[in-house]
Amino acid sequence: MKKIHRLVLLLLCSAISTLAFGQEHYTNCTAAFLDNKLVVNEYSPDGKCIIDSTAQGILTVSPATYDNNVWIADDPAEFMVAIRDKNTGTICMFSDKRYKKLEISRVLSKCRKGDRIVLMTMDNHLALPHNEILIR
């Protein structure tokens, strides 16, 4: 009988610790910025990230704060970049490097209109809900 109680207690503790670890992921909001300007048109579930194929500037992924009706980029976070092909949906890594700042023209030189730039955070505490940028 004691073995069953111990087993139940062990399973209960395991379940609680798993839930506790799960709650730590994606606790800080981040966004993509191009020259410190928010890329997404609206920071909501309906927001769209679209840039022109001739865009220029420095791409960053940063924790974002909203102050006086303006989104402000905090210190840039590390991110990686991939490209999703318009025709096949295939995702291909742009580079195996981690970036804090990246000249967007370097990525755009590998893209065609209709492709998407895919941004990946390197820290599982950083949520990046608008992680794909459509190339127009």
Number of folded domains in the chain?
1
Read off the pTM.
0.79
Residue with tokens 């291909």: 92
9 domain residue, yes or no: no
15 domain residue, yes or no: no
All residues at 6 or more sequence positions from 10 whose CB lies less than 8 Å from its CB, including other chains: none
64 domain residue, yes or no: yes
20 domain residue, yes or no: no
Residue with tokens 């941004």: 119
12 domain residue, yes or no: no
Per-residue pLDDT band at 23 (split at 50, 70, 90): low
Euclidean distance between CA atoms 63 and 83, whole angstroms? 22
30 domain residue, yes or no: yes
Per-residue pLDDT band at 16 (split at 50, 70, 90): very low
Q: What share of the chain is helix, strand, coil (3-state, %, to 5)?
A: 20, 40, 45
Task: Give the mean model confidence (pLDDT) for residues 69-89.
Answer: 93
Residue 100 lies in domain = 25-135
Euclidean distance between CA atoms 33 and 49, whole angstroms? 10
Between vectors from CA 29 to CA 20 and to CA 24, what angle results, nearest 5°?
10
Per-residue pLDDT band at 73 (split at 50, 70, 90): confident
83 domain residue, yes or no: yes
